[in-house]
Chain A
Amino acid sequence: MMKDLLAVIMLLGIYSLLSSSFFVVMDAVDVAFTEAAVGAGISTLLMLVAISMTGRSEHPVRHKPLLALAVVFVTGSLLIYGTLDMPYFGSAHAPIHQQVAPRYINDSMQEIGVPNIVTSVLASYRAYDTFGEVVVIFTAGIGVLSLLSWVRRSGYTKDDDSYNQSMHEQHLILRIVTKMMIPFILLFALYVQFHGDFGPGGGFQAGVIFASAIFLYTMLFGMSTARRVISQPFIQILAATGVLLYGSVGVASLLNGKNFFDYSALSSDPVAGQHLGILLIEMGVGLTVTSIMIIIFFNFVSRRNNLPRKENQDI
């Protein structure tokens, strides 16, 4: 049993990376892309920032491990019993493949005109669901903001800046290599954003990759430098703009006499309308995801920087 939470979190990162390669084997390339960026990258990083504040060792006490084991064993056996009626792995006749999936696979090219079926389902057929997801992400961002945002103490200014500077000057090679890498990471994020119609990619993945470039910059050049590039009010407005853009596309199709998120209303040619709609809502998704990830990370890091210095060094 691991007592060191740092090791636990590193193992969780490896587990995420492995599951993302599993998703590639299962033909879910879009999902693998997202899991690699989110699970192995951002979530590991956020957890590391969190344990730097909460302490990295765990108390060895457990609540009634035998009882817990019994509960887990019984639940697991019941679940295994439940799987006995399930269709076999890889079977093409499973009920899941008989309902809406054939329609998406056979007709999406005529109806939407986008080769990547995942994008056309995500952004057009089920745009309503995706809107809900974006709102959930936005809400979680507001939650983190209200829990962690901190009025800057008067003592924190120049002193901490110079402390940051001296710390970062030690890593000269990292700084120079990162400076060269960041433009390419940002460019790749934009490629993923706009190429999502044709290959794996889209707003969710692009948003996460874009944010990770900013994280890298923040880690090597310090919070105060990063704040000069991206200020908190600016990024908050950007997050709200993304959700607003997404919602407005739905309202625009509503005003043109079609259903909510029926993009064929946006242009005289239905397929061109679909293209425009998908482009706009993917942009909204990308904006919101990027800004919420940056808001979360900035607030975590600022919270840590604002701890009294002595505590900071103990950890």
Chain B
Amino acid sequence: MLIGLYNYWVVVVLMMVGFYIVIAHGNLIKKIVGLSIFQTSVFIFYISMANVEGGTAPILADGIEQYSNPLPHVLILTAIVVSIATTALALALAIRLKEAYGSIEEEEIQNKDNLDC
């Protein structure tokens, strides 16, 4: 049954929403928001793959046989904290661009650069 693959389809839809925002919008903050949505879709991809039917959280306890896979959890846990650090860096760049060009719209920045040449 193909319907068993629905978790991947949800991920693909979210990923494409993020991708569309990144390529179609000129505002840098909007682009960063798009990247966050894209990132979260990757997190959901990993975590949904780690899930085992009938499993529990990977904390060892008596009487439990089936655990979810802990490895993707580890990878995503660190990825989330790294993502906030990199997002902050992107926001810092946007702030500097605003100070230098007076705008964070991609086209206005490009026009200003062309005038300077």
Contact = CB atoms under 8 A, between A and B. Distances in A.
Contacts of B86: 136, 140
Which of B12, B43, B44, B69 has most A Cβ within 10 Å? Answer: B69
B68 A76 contact: no
A16 interface: yes
Interface stretch (A94-102, A171-179, A182-190): A94-102
Interface of B: 1-2, 4-9, 12-13, 15-16, 19-20, 23-30, 32-33, 36-37, 40, 43-44, 47-53, 55-61, 66-89, 91-96, 98, 104-108
A96 B7 CA distance: 15
A258 B20 CA distance: 49
Contacts of A59: 26-27, 105, 107-108
Interface of A: 5, 8-9, 12, 15-16, 19, 22-23, 26-31, 34-35, 38-39, 42-43, 46-47, 50-51, 53-55, 58-59, 61-65, 68-69, 71-73, 75-76, 79-80, 83-84, 86, 88-92, 94, 96-97, 100-101, 104-105, 108-109, 115-118, 121-122, 126, 129-130, 133, 136-137, 140-141, 143-144, 147-148, 198-200, 202, 204, 207-208, 289, 292-293, 296, 299-300, 303
Contacts of A65: 24
Contacts of B60: 108-109, 115-117
A71 B16 CA distance: 10
Contacts of B51: 26-27, 89-90
A193 to B, nearest CB: 14
Contact of B5 (A34, A46, A89, A136): A89
B84 to A, nearest CB: 5
Contacts, number: 265
B68 A54 contact: no
Given A47-B29, A292-B85, A121 B74 contact: yes
Nearest to A144: B92
Contacts of A50: 29, 91, 94-95
B81 A137 contact: yes
B36 A62 contact: no
A122 B78 contact: yes
A39 B57 CA distance: 21
Contacts of B72: 28, 96
Given A105-B58, A115-B59, A54 B5 contact: no
